[in-house]
Structure 1
Amino acid sequence: MVITIALPFIGEDLNLSKTAQGLLISMFFAGYALFQIPGGMLSDKFGFRRVVSVAIIWWSIFTSLTGFIFVYPLFLLVRFVFGLGEACLPGGSYKAIATYFPSKQRGTATGIQSTVNTLGPAVAAIAAAAIIGLYGWRVVFIVMGIPGLLIGIYIWFKFKDNPKDHPKISKEELAELEEDNLQQESHGKKKSDVSLKELFKKPILWQMALIWFFFDITFWGFTSWLPSYLINEKGLSLMDTGIYSALPYLVGTVAIVLGGYISDKMKANRKWVFVPNALAGGVALYFMFQAQSLTAVIIFQCLAAFFMFMAQGGFWALVVDSFSAKIMASGSATVNCFGSIAGFISPFLMGYLIDTSGSYNSSFILMIIALVIAAIIALTISGKTEDGPVNLTSKLGTN
């Protein structure tokens, strides 16, 4: 997330257009999308502990290497390889949640896990602005790579792929997990019996993949260009940009956990956490780019973040509750792969729109349209079945 704060300074240092700056962000997503599904399959095959720890160490190394790049083509290559490593994380992390949490708690657990998308950018915005202001943009990448190395090593030695092997899990918790697994039956067929090949044939997987694609067109556009928008359009200083860029994510931290929690309470109809919040996020974005005063811009950017992160918390609760732990990494990675493709397209496309139009307005319109499309696709997911909540238990059952 640091690169979004550093982007204007990288562009100035390397004499890059907005389109070229956008491509720097997009190249990460090219690698991220390419290895998303293989990364999920690795977690399903070898366990999330090994794959997640190696992924974190990998991208931490390339985070630090970013600070030593002076040539644009090499910068693009490093960003691409960076994305290859990080692609293994999402599927593995969702597999961990599906392994350790019963269905009734997965929405809340996923919401808490997803605060990496809110607290991370909030901390990064302030820390990066402070470090760049003192030492320049290169130092911030070198410094930010170090904690990840320690975290990756910790995960390798402390995490367990099987809850039974974890020293702190209780017998009651193991019994609850076992009972939850027994309840995942419908029409005589368990979700865990479904192969990845069968999963790829099911409409609900591709519905969720398309929802996440269009949602991430907006999310990564918003995340990638917000700091540049505040600096270039609103004339904010570097430190003020860091603080104001952090605010939406601090708001989002509450919203994403709340979205997951509410989704657990609405388990039979989780899509209704996503749909209205996605649309409300689009409305807030519209008022944000129409606003004239800085105060109004900040208020509406925080409202947009609140609704979008609320929607995100509800969406991933639906995903994690829809696949068995056996294929969770591969299934969730497939959905996230489409978001990664959006992450590749959105920053580059928005940079191009800004260059060609001379303003940020067209890019905001793109983000709003994408949110509306995501909400419309979400409406096509069946709400309830004769057996209760929508999930792959009912979708994959034999009739």
Structure 2
Amino acid sequence: MNEQLQVQPKKRWKVRYSVLLVLWVCWLFSFLDRMVITIALPFIGEDLNLNATAQGLLLSMFFAGYALFQIPGGMLSDKFGFRRVMSIAITWWSIFTSLTGLIFSFPLMLLLRFVFGLGEACLPGASYKGIATYFPSKQRGTATGIQSTVNTLGPALAAIAAAAIIGFFGWRAVFVIMGIPGIFVGIYIWVKFKDNPKDHPKITKEELAELDEDVDEKSPEKKKSDISFKELLKRPILWQMSLVWFFFDITFWGFTSWLPSYLINEKGLSLMDTGIFSALPYLVGTVAIVLGGYLSDRVKTNRKWIFIPNALIGGLALYLMFQASSLTMVIVYQCLAAFFMFLAQGGFWGLVVDTLPAKIMASGSATVNCFGSIAGFVSPFLMGYMIETSGSFNSSFIMMIVALVIAAAIALSISGKPKEEPVNLEIKLDA
């Protein structure tokens, strides 16, 4: 009986779960705010008289700002703490989301999307810093996978919400409405969050002990924590992970940005049908990305093997998707592509968060994510150009498939042997 009573406290809600929940909400609004434009794009193009190339440039301008400030934003989080940076960031981009609906000039909208991207650029590094600060190493892959479900739910909810709001009120209203909640979230983070777990009034001694044990059990972690960002830049694994993420995001942002237009223009779907069918792959991916993070924590060999085969299978599903003649099979294959790509993504970020030292987690993860942001700039614009010049989506689909193959090949080159890195970052691909 006494033993049963002693077990009960372990089931209590922990502070780190609350931190993860708020991080998840921040990512949710970041994706809602950035992705509604993919549903609104055909209407913006018609309203402002934009061709496919100009529409692709409009999508890409967000990523220009997002990529430019990604690493500086991570460095700010490492220096001043993730709480302040995240609070200011979400308030910033929420304001510019609402302003997007009030713009009538294409050049001004390009500028606004760029500045909007600057604000969101601070989020990735700050959020991974938060996970590394509050979660022990053995749970970081799962925590990152849960946080990353927003990569799937965000586009899904954005597709449905944007389609409904646009249908009733027009495309401008969707931006004005979407920007409002984030301001309140930013205020909450400023008031409630703490950069140091020891300063949090509700954290327990048991939680702090878990974090301390995490360092004590892995003595190299103490050496890792002394590595500066400048030293990290000399580590090959940082650039390998960055390149993997660049090529993976060529596919991810191409798929995410142009899927609604593909369904409307190539398959003749209505606005509401497009919203529903655009959401399906991401709802499927929600399960996959958590599973990828969970498996990454459970694998006792190299974490990269969660990424490689699933990225390749995702590429195969994309090929079958654009070859399919019936709408039913297009929907089936787009869901399969999403499942395996997001499974790969969950595994990949488990690798990143477990590999980088907590002290410079924001700067390191921001560097990796910066390459994805560059891909986010390149991919929508390049796809728009390819679609306009070829008159079809075929060549752009081939580009996305090739990018996944390259990402898998680079991941294969990542070595799991820490002895090759003296003192070290431990190139820790093991769970």
Same fold (TM over 0.5): yes
Aligned partner of 1:320: which letter? V
2:346 equivalent to 1:313: yes
Which residue in 1 is equivalent to 2:58? 24
Which residue in 2 is equivalent to 1:174? 208
Measure the CA separation in 2 of the matches of 1:276 and 1:212: 15
- Residues 229-248 of structure 1 correspond to what in structure 2 (within 5 A)? 229-248=262-281
Which residue in 2 is equivalent to 1:150? 184
Measure the CA separation in 1 of the matches of 2:177 and 2:418: 51
Which residue in 2 is equivalent to 1:204? 237
- Residues 384-399 of structure 1 correspond to what in structure 2 (within 5 A)? 384-385=417-418, 393-395=425-427
State the secondary structure of the residue aligned to 1:91.
Answer: helix
1:213 to 246, 250, 253: 246
Measure the CA separation in 2 of the matches of 1:205 and 1:365: 28
2:96 equivalent to 1:67: no
Measure the CA separation in 1 of the matches of 2:275 and 2:332: 16
2:403 equivalent to 1:370: yes
Measure the CA separation in 2 of the matches of 1:101 and 1:392: 21
1:312-339 CA deviation, whole Å, 9 max, x = no partner?
A: 1000110000111110000000000000
1:15 to 49, 58, 66: 49
The Cα shift of 1:36 comes to 0.2
Which residue in 1 is equivalent to 2:86? 52
Measure the CA separation in 1 of the matches of 2:248 and 2:386: 19
Contact 2:38 2:260 in 1 (8 A): yes
Aligned residues with identical type, % of pairs: 81
1:165-205 CA deviation, whole Å, 9 max, x = no partner?
A: 1223221111110111223333x961101011100000000
Where has structure 1 moved over 4 Å in runs of 4 or more?
384-387
2:358 equivalent to 1:325: yes
Aligned partner of 1:152: which letter? G
Measure the CA separation in 2 of the matches of 1:185 and 1:351: 50
Which residue in 1 is equivalent to 2:371? 338
1:2 to 36, 42, 50: 36
Measure the CA separation in 1 of the matches of 2:355 and 2:419: 16
Task: Give the gaps of 5 or more residues in structure 2.
Answer: 1-34
Task: Give the gaps of 5 or more residues in structure 1.
Answer: none
- Residues 250-265 of structure 1 correspond to what in structure 2 (within 5 A)? 250-265=283-298
The Cα shift of 1:385 comes to 4.2
TM-score scaled by length of structure 1: 0.96
CA RMSD of aligned residues (A): 1.6
2:157 equivalent to 1:123: yes
The Cα shift of 1:72 comes to 0.4
- Residues 185-196 of structure 1 correspond to what in structure 2 (within 5 A)? 185-186=219-220, 190-196=223-229
Aligned partner of 2:146: which letter? I
Aligned partner of 1:333: which letter? A
The Cα shift of 1:51 comes to 0.3
TM-score scaled by length of structure 2: 0.89
